[in-house]
Amino acid sequence: MIGLDELIQRFAALDRTELTRWIENRWILPGEEGGRWVFHEVDVARVELILEIRHEFAVDDEALALMLNLLDQVYSLRRQMRRLAGALEVQPPEIREAIRKALPKAGEDL
Amino acid sequence: MATQTPYEVLGVKPDASAEEIRKAYRKLAKELHPDLNPGKPAAEARFKAVTAANDILSDPEKRSRYDRGEIDESGAERPRYSYRPHAEGAQGWKYRPQGEMDAGDLDDLFAMFGRGRAGRPGEGFKMPGPDRQFTLTIDFALAATGGKQRLALSPEEWLDVTIPPGIEQGQVLRLKGKGGPGFGGGPQGAPPGDALIEVHIAPHPFFRREGDDIHLELPVSLAEAVLGARVPVPTVTGPVTMTIPKGSDTGARLRLRGKGIHRKRRGSDTTGDQYVTLKVMIGASGDAELEKFVEDWVKTHPTDPRRAMGPGVDPGTTDKAAQGTTTP
């Protein structure tokens, strides 16, 4: 967990005004401690991701918002999948086998 | 205090020009050069830091890599933050899309996965039972006509399987609800799985199938072939009587219309035929009377059944040494 100044310092390409705008857009959701923003690891990693997208793919704010929304949806699904996989993993082998068999093959109707 | 950035070490702004960096470096290098500061370890350490900072900032490529966070102050590769492990971890929930379902309890998840199945709200998670696989061997006639065949699922449990007419070798029949029991689903229970039955057709000693037609080789006697006859012929639905025309020969093919496979199809039914190929069996080996008759008969009726094979042996002058042997 780091503060705003340390975050700015960590990424030389990161501009304070720009970061403030990302926070206002709710692309970055810092925590708050004693009236100051604090950034957890996931926030720092996300800042780096946004920096990469902006600078390496040269996308504007509008496209960036769309990309982040799609990315968030993908990761949300992946988290749900992992939860389900975790729940399946602790089932007895015969139940896991039954579920495996009940899975439609890709392209089959549910 | 975190490590100083190369910009801080040289005392320049992050947007400093190359010229500003060069000037700042020269000034500091002169001040701090070890030869000018003998016996001053602090100056020597700063000199090293200044040189390292200049290494990065004087090289446009290194400088931009540093700005992107790819290398650290010493020029070493910095481990890249990967967003994915964070996003997929518990911390990632913070960034779930607006309106997305809650991370709450598993019921929400199962409600999502149950969509599209026959789930009703409140029933919770349910999953149909697993399919069970069986093989069933049936005889040729049943495969042709269709009907019922008993299949033992287990020592205590059997099933009367309905075989559709004209079933093909290896065809799989799916019997809804005859598989393993389902999971969950509340008092009503989730539906069981299906039984998948792979059907094998036992070969028949004299019937053969080609599509919906049945083929059969029918032995007939010399008399039946020469004089004609009405003979019983087996079909998949039982024997029928067929007329052998007078003067028939081996290889003659007769058709029994409608005695093939009968299929019910939408609109109109279709029916195959049975084809009967005759095979004349003389069945009078060593019969002196027949030999005598044929000897006389052939004198006035010379025939050569091998004519189509080209110039061959004149019938009647066969070389004894090359004579074929007969097997019983």
* Residue of A28, A76, A89 for testing the chain B interface, max B β-carbons within 10 Å: A76
Joined together, the tokens standing for residue A36 give 């100051």
Split at pLDDT 50, 70, 90, the class of B1 is very low
Q: Give the model confidence (pLDDT) of B123-135 as tens digits.
A: 455 677 788 888 8
Question: Can you give the pLDDT at residue B87?
Answer: 83
Give the mean pLDDT of chain A.
Answer: 85
What is the interface pTM, i.e. ipTM, of the complex? 0.76
pLDDT higher than threshold 50 for residue B117? no
Q: B57 pLDDT band (50/70/90 cuts)?
A: very high
| Å between B190 CA and nearest CA of chain A | 13
Please give the average per-residue pLDDT across B41-46, as a whole number.
Answer: 86
Question: A98–B183: do the CB atoms touch at under 8 Å?
Answer: yes
Residues of A in contact with B183 (CB under 8 A): 95, 98
Cβ <8 Å between B86 and A73: no
**In this predicted model, what pLDDT tens digit does every residue of B234-292 receive, in sequence order?**
999 899 999 999 999 999 999 999 999 988 777 678 899 999 999 999 887 788 999 99
Confidence of residue A15 (pLDDT cuts 50, 70, 90): confident
Chain A environment of B83 (Cβ under 8 Å): 42, 45-46, 48-49
Q: Which of A13, A49, A101 sits opposite B83 (nearest CB)?
A: A49
Give the closest-approach CA distance of B88 to chain A in angstroms: 5
DSSP per residue, B35-97 = TTSTT-HHHHHHHHHHHHHHHHHTSHHHHHHHHTTSB-TTSPBPPPPPHHHHHHSGGGGGGPP
| Torsion over CA: A52, A56, A61, A64 (sign) | negative
Cβ of A40 and B93 within 8 Å?
A: no
State mean pLDDT over B97-116.
52
Global model pTM greater than 0.80: no
Q: For residue B113, what are its two tokens?
A: 């996965």
- Give the chain A residue nearest B83 (alpha carbons): A45
Residue A69 has its nearest CB partner, among B66, B68, B97, at B97
CA distance A86 to chain B (A): 11
d(CA B121, CA B233): 63
- Between CA A105 and CA A53 the distance in angstroms is 35
**pLDDT of residue B97 exceeding 80:** no
pLDDT at B118: 45
Q: Do A101 and B131 touch (CB under 8 A)?
A: yes
Nearest to B163 by CA among B137, B130, B133: B137
Q: What percent of chain B has pLDDT over 90?
A: 32
Beta pairing partners, B126: B184
